[in-house]
Every structure is written in C-alpha cells, then in structure tokens.
C-alpha cells in the first residue's frame, strides 16, 4: 500500500514537474516573441548608433572568424572521411566530392558553424548584456533617455545576422578546402579532382540554402542571447546562469529553425 | 508651497511574492534635499529607481514635474529623463567608454538630439564638452583621468566619475544612490560638499540614499527612514532627535547621543584608546565625524586636542566603516565589529 502511495505521489510530482517546466518553456517562448517584436520595432527608423554598430560588427567578426574557419575545415574533413567509407566500398570515389559537398553546404556546415558561433559570440553577448544589467549600465542608459533596445540590442542583432551569413559563406569554402585536403591525403583523390567533382555536382541550391540557414541561425542566436542577457537578475551568479541557458536554448533554436528552413525550402 | 517636483503616491512594488516597497508616499518640493536612510535590503535602491521612472510600480504613481510617468509615451518620458541625473549604487559606468567619454556622454547625447552639426560649430561644441568634463573631473579630485577606462579605476574613483556624469548636464532632479559607499572620510566629505553645491536650489531637488548619516545631517533638510519597504520615519533632524522609536534613534544616534544626558561613562572605540579613561561630564561637544577616524598613530599628537573636544562627552557612538577595520599594529580590540556599515557600534563599560 505504502509503495503504491509512494509511486502515486512520485508520478504526481513527476507530472507536476513536467507541467511546471512546460509552463516555464511557454513563458520563455512568449518573452522571446515579445522581445523579437521590440527588436524589429527598434529598427524603425533604421538609424543605429554608428559607433555601437561598428563595435558590434568588429567584435562579432574578430571573435568568431578563426574558430569558424577551423570548425569548417574539420567539418569538411570529417564528411570526406564518412563519405569515403561508403564510396570506397562501392568503389565510387568519383562521388566523394558530391556527397561531402552536399552534406556540408546544406546541413552540417551551417549547423556546426552556428553552434560554434553561439558558443562564442552568443555566450559573450549574453554575458556582456547581463553584466550591463547587473552593474546598472542599462538603467543608466534609460535614465539618459536612451532606449537600450535601440542603442544596444539592434546593432548586435544586425551584426550577428550579417556576420553569421558572411561566416557561413566563408566557412563553406574552407569546409570544401578541408574536404579536398583530406580526400587527397586519405582517399588518394587529388584535390583538383575533388574540387572538379564539387563544381560538377552543381550545388548552388545547397549553398544558398546554407546561407539562408546561416542568417536565420544568426537571428535566433541574437534574439536568444539578448533575451537571456537583458533578463539577468541576481548578480554575477545570475550572469553565469543566463549564459548557460542562452547557449542551451540557442542550440535548440538552431535545430528547430534548421528543420523549419529545410522543410520550407523543399516545399518552395 | 510650490507644486512638488517629484511626488510618489501609494507606491508598491513586488519582486516575486516579496513586497519590496509597500505604500510609500513621498513629495519633494523645489529646493529640497531629501535623505533616505535605512538598513540594507530595505528597498532604498528600488525606491530610487521607482522615483526615476526606471521601475514600473505595481501600485501607485510617480509624478515628475507634474507628469505621471505611467501616462507618458517614449518621447515624453525621454524629455523628462533629460532633466534627471542619477548616480547608481553600482557606478553604472559604461565600460566600453573612457572616463572622459562617460562623463561627456549625457552632453553628447543631448547635442545629438539638438542638431547633427558638422564643421566649426560641432568642433566648438566638442571642445566645450571636453572642457566641462575637465572641470568636473577636477571637482571630483580626478584631474587628467579622461583617457582611463572604468576597469582601471578603484571603487571610490568610479563613484566619483559616476557623480561627475550624473551632474554634468545640470539636471533638475539629482538622485544619488549611496554616493560615498566605500570612500575614505576625506573624500566622502568632499562628495557631500559637492552634492550640496551642485544642488539645484532654485530649479529642482536632490535625493540622497546613504549610510553616511553624519555627513547627511548638515546637508539634508528632510530624512526618510525606510524599513522593509515602508516609511518608518519622516522628518527633519529635530524630529529625529525627539523620536522615541528605537530604530530612528539608532540611525540618528551618533549626533543625538553626543548631546544627550546619558550618565553612563563611555567606552571608546579602539582608535581612541588613549582617551578611554577620561572622565566625562556634562556639556556639549563637536560633531563626532571629526573624531571617528582619527588614525591610531595620531593619538599622542592629538591627545590634548581630543581631550578638549571630548570634555563633556558622555557617550560616543562610532559608525563603523571599512576604514576602521582593525589593522595589525592597532591595539587588539575586544568590542564586536559591526558587519553592516550602518550599524552604530557603541561600546559601553
Ligand atoms: N530586480 C530584482 N529582482 C528581485 N528582487 C529584487 C530586485 N531588485 C531588488 N530586489 C530585492 O529588493 C530588496 C530591496 O533591495 P534594494 O532596494 O536594493 O535594497 P537597499 O535598501 O539595500 O538598496 C532586496 O531584498 C532585493 O533582493
Ligand atoms: Mg541599495
């Protein structure tokens, strides 16, 4: 009897926990939606603070390009190794460029670059905004009649969207380079042949899809990281917690939007 | 009686289920300097931000210059905020700007609102801003620090830079949140002198949140003691002296007690061990701030002077301060050290 009662209460509390976290997820989603609306409104009129915008672009670019290039090269290499096993079995090495290129450009490249970007730039953005909240810098801006959405958030969102678009465009090329090097070293497919295969495969559509994904990931990372940064409470501990949450939610956001963009693309 | 510059009615604010501000009424009329005191966590900072329109109250209203904050649109609110100067407890210096840029920022911002000028006029304006920044920096005792970044400054320096920024644009409502926390007594006195001097007597008000009651007493006309989000006491210094509320007495003690009639011989703070055995009878004495922080090494030199000053003192309370923490070369102290800077550590024997 006792066991049953215990099991019953355990299940009940389990359901309660699930319910509670479902509610908090919905709350976060609602807050994210409201923030998105405010961000879009802050672009009207489109007069961003020049200095803040330059600073945002510079920081986002400088912070992330090296890590994106490295991620991309490894991604290309790994895809060639993966694809290589199959094409070798089927003795169809002439497909390795196509297979690796397809996977990298349309899917793996943007997602991995997005994840790295989120860990690097998104986390940094959350920490920076969170610190500004905790040290009352955001209050100080408002008390100086400056709207933080306009002054702080809009330039960052713009910088992240544009930069992740550019970094995806750049990263894809480095991924193919990494793939070409790997195929020469490990599969005995000369680099020139590999590149010719990629060109012949005519992957323009996939490349464009990847760029669209990159921009959308940039937007979702920007919104998520700004949201968690601006809602920090509870000092330095709160900033740490916010960064943690921002990275997790941004990763989920990347997978969800990846699915959404992929489906929409196929539908069109 | 002129219309109040700042008026709060029935203010309440909850964070989660906790009521941090509970039914606060506050009016400040032209020319007034209002002091807000209270224990840590009483809601002083939240109250100040409510008054500044930076936090939206759950209940009640805040009127600034006769306008209800809640009824203003973004532009009108910005216009009201242009007349505010706020010093925040955590400095709130923009860490991506230099000291000079921080202090000049309110002026730059205003200029941008006026006109986006180019050429000679703009250059002249920039030079004017730079010179005003330099003047203000000298006034807060930090000349020539324009090029430093906030992370290169000590806490006390940051406070002074924040004070310079809050006051640079000649605001009509000056709100200071703990302007002297963590500062040495000399600088604290200078800061309060500056607060008094920059007070917009004819056009506005000043509200100071502080623990530094001794320095507030001569500056503030009116005091508000906030306790757990409620106003526990409101009135001038004389009213505080008359109050029978124990908490009010504790807060305003250091001055009240020195003119008091307590017959108990006093124990004196460790830094005054050389005058500990004075027999003290009747009469008045100078304010305690001149004694509080006398360095222990200076006792022998100042002994005679202190003796004269202390004649007639029956009891001294010392506001503890980070500076009066025991150091290795001081005689060992057996009195309990207060952990809150507000707590008056009075030692009796
Ligand atoms: N943004 C916030 N979220 C939750 N609680 C807060 C927030 N701001 C202040 N509080 C709480 O309100 C109370 C009063 O804080 P505060 O006004 O900073 O006190 P103080 O009188 O020391 O300035 C504290 O208990 C604090 O924890
Ligand atoms: Mg405070």
Residue pLDDT, tens place only, A60-115: 998 899 999 999 999 999 988 888 777 777 666 667 888 888 888 988 999 999 99
In the predicted structure, residue B268 carries a pLDDT above the cut 70: no
**Where residue B147 falls among pLDDT bands split at 50, 70, 90?**
very high
Mean pLDDT, to the nearest integer, of B211-236? Answer: 93
Question: Higher confidence at residue B86 or residue B249?
Answer: B86
Output the CA B114–ligand 1 centroid distance in Å.
37
- Give, using CA atoms, the residue closest to atom 24 of ligand 1: B41
pLDDT of B197 strictly over 50: yes
Q: Which CATH number fits domain B6-249+342-347: 3.40.50.360, 3.40.50.2300, 3.30.420.40, 3.40.50.300?
A: 3.40.50.300
Q: Return the pLDDT at B224.
A: 96
Chain B residues closer than 8 Å to A146 by CB: 109
Residue-level pLDDT at B53: 95
Q: pLDDT tens across B46-73, in order?
A: 999 999 999 999 999 999 999 999 999 9
Tens of pLDDT along B286-302?
333 334 333 333 343 44
pLDDT of residue A22: 83
pLDDT of amino acid A2: 78
Q: Where are the domains of chain B?
A: 6-249+342-347, 270-322
Answer yes or no: is the C-beta of A233 below 6 A from any ligand 1 atom: yes
Dihedral sign for Cα A160, A162, A165, A169, please: negative
Question: Which ligand has the nearest atom to the CA of B39?
Answer: 1
pLDDT per residue over B71-116, tens digit each?
999 889 999 999 999 999 999 999 999 999 999 999 988 776 665 5
Q: How confident is the model at residue B265 (pLDDT cuts 50, 70, 90)?
A: very low
Q: Is B43 in the pocket of ligand 1 (CB under 6 A)?
A: yes
Q: What is the pLDDT of residue A200?
A: 86
State the pLDDT at residue B116: 56
What percent of chain B has a predicted confidence (pLDDT) above 90? 55
Does pLDDT of B143 surpass 90?
Answer: yes
Kindly tell me if the per-residue pLDDT of B119 is higher than 60.
yes
Rounded to the nearest angstrom, the distance between the alpha carbon of A252 and the centre of ligand 1 is 33
For residues B255 and B38, the model is more confident at B38
Helix pair angle (A109-117, A154-187), 10° resolution: 130
* Whole-number average pLDDT of chain B: 77
Q: Is A143 on the interface with B (CB under 8 A)?
A: yes
Say whether B81 and A55 touch across the interface (CB within 8 A): no
Across B162-170, average pLDDT: 94
Q: Which of A38-52, B133-147, B261-275 has the highest mean pLDDT?
A: B133-147
- B41 CB near ligand 1 (under 6 Å): yes
Is the pLDDT at B331 greater than 80? The verdict is no
DSSP string, chain A: -HHHHHHHHHHHHHHHHHHHHHHHHHHHHHHHHHHHHHHHHHTSS----HHHHHHHHHHHHHHHHHHHHHHHHHHHHHHHHHHHHHHHHTT-GGGHHHHHHHHIIIIIHHHHHHHHHIIIIIHHHHHHHHHHHHTTHHHHHHHTT--HIIIIIHHHHHHHHHHHHHHHHHHHHHHHHHHHHHHHHHH---HHHHHHHHHHTT-HHHHHHHHHHHHHHHHHHHHHHHHHHHT--SHHHHHHHHHHHHHHHHHHHHHHHHHHHHHHHHH-
Task: Say if A81 is an interface residue toward chain B (CB within 8 Å).
Answer: no
pTM of the model: 0.80
* Residue B70 DSSP class: G
Contact by Cβ (8 Å): B315, B264: yes
Tell me what pLDDT residue A143 has: 94
Q: Does A27 touch chain B (CB under 8 A)?
A: no
User: CB-based contact (8 Å) between A135 and chain B?
Assistant: yes
* Residue B281: band (very low, low, confident or very high) from pLDDT cuts 50, 70, 90: very low
Specify the pLDDT at position A225.
97
Spatial contact of B324 and B296, defined as CB atoms under 8 Å apart: no
pLDDT in tens for each of the 268 residues of chain A?
A: 678 888 888 888 888 888 888 888 888 889 899 988 888 888 887 778 888 899 999 999 988 999 999 999 999 999 888 887 777 776 666 678 888 888 889 889 999 999 999 999 999 999 999 999 999 999 999 999 999 999 999 999 999 999 999 999 999 999 999 999 998 898 888 888 888 888 888 888 999 999 999 999 999 999 999 999 999 998 999 999 999 999 999 999 999 999 999 999 888 7
For residues B152-169, average pLDDT? 93
B20 lines ligand 1 (CB under 6 A): yes
pLDDT of B324 > 80? The answer is: no
């Amino acid at each position: 009897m006792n066991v049953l009662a215990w099991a019953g209460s355990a299940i009940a509390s389990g359901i309660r926990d699930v319910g509670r976290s479902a509610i908090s997820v919905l709350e976060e989603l609602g807050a994210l939606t409201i923030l998105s609306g405010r961000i879009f409104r802050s672009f009207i009129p489109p007069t961003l603070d020049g200095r803040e915008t330059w600073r945002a672009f510079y920081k986002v670019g400088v912070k992330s390009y090296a890590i994106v290039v490295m991620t991309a090269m490894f991604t290309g290499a790994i895809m060639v190794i993966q694809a290589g096993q199959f094409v070798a079995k089927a003795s169809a090495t002439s497909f390795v460029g196509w297979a690796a290129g397809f996977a990298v450009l349309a899917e793996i490249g943007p997602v991995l670059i997005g994840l790295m970007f989120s860990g690097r730039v998104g986390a940094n953005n959350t920490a920076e905004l969170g610190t500004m909240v905790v040290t009352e810098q955001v209050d100080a801006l408002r008390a100086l009649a400056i709207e933080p959405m306009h002054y702080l958030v809009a330039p960052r969102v713009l910088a992240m969207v544009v930069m992740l678009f550019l970094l995806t465009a750049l990263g894809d090329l480095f991924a193919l380079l990494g793939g070409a090097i790997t195929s020469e070293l490990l599969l005995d497919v000369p680099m020139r042949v590999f590149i010719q295969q990629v060109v012949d495969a005519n992957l323009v559509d996939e490349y464009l899809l990847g760029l669209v994904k990159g921009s959308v990931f940039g937007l979702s990372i920007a919104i998520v990281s700004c949201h968690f940064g601006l809602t920090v409470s509870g000092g330095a501990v709160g900033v740490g917690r916010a960064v943690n949450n921002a990275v997790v939610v941004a990763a989920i956001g990347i997978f969800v939007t990846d699915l959404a963009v992929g489906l929409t693309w196929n539908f069109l | 009686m002129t219309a109040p510059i700042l008026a709060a009615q029935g203010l309440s604010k909850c964070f989660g289920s906790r009521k941090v501000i509970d039914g606060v009424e506050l009016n400040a009329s032209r020319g007034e300097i209002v002091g807000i005191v209270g224990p840590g966590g009483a809601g002083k900072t939240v109250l100040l931000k409510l008054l500044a329109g930076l936090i939206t109250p759950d209940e009640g209203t805040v009127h600034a210059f006769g306008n209800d904050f809640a009824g203003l649109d973004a532009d009108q609110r910005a216009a009201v905020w242009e007349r505010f100067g706020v010093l925040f407890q955590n400095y709130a210096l923009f860490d991506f700007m230099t000291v000079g840029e921080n202090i000049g920022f309110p002026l730059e911002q205003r200029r941008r609102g006026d006109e986006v000028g180019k050429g000679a006029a703009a250059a002249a304006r920039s030079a004017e801003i730079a010179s005003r920044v330099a003047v203000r920096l000298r006034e807060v005792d930090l000349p020539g620090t324009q090029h430093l970044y906030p992370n290169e400054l000590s806490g006390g320096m940051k406070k002074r830079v924040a004070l310079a920024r809050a006051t640079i644009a000649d605001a009509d409502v000056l709100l200071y949140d703990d302007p002297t926390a963590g500062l040495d007594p000399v600088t604290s006195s200078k800061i309060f002198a500056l607060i008094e001097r920059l007070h917009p007597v004819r056009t506005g008000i000043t509200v100071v949140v502080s623990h530094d009651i001794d320095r507030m007493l001569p500056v503030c006309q009116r005091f508000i003691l906030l306790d757990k989000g409620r106003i526990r006491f409101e009135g001038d210094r004389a009213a505080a002296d008359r109050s029978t509320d124990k908490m009010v007495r504790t807060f305003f003690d250091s001055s009240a007690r020195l003119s008091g009639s307590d017959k108990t011989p006093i124990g004196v703070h460790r830094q005054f061990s050389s005058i500990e055995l004075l027999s003290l009878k009747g009469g008045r004495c100078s304010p305690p701030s001149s004694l509080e922080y006398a360095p222990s090494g200076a006792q022998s030199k100042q002994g005679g002077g202190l003796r004269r000053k202390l004649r007639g003192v029956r009891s001294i309370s010392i506001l503890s301060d980070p500076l009066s923490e025991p150091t290795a070369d001081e005689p060992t102290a057996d009195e309990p050290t207060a952990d809150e800077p507000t707590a008056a550590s009075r030692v009796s024997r």
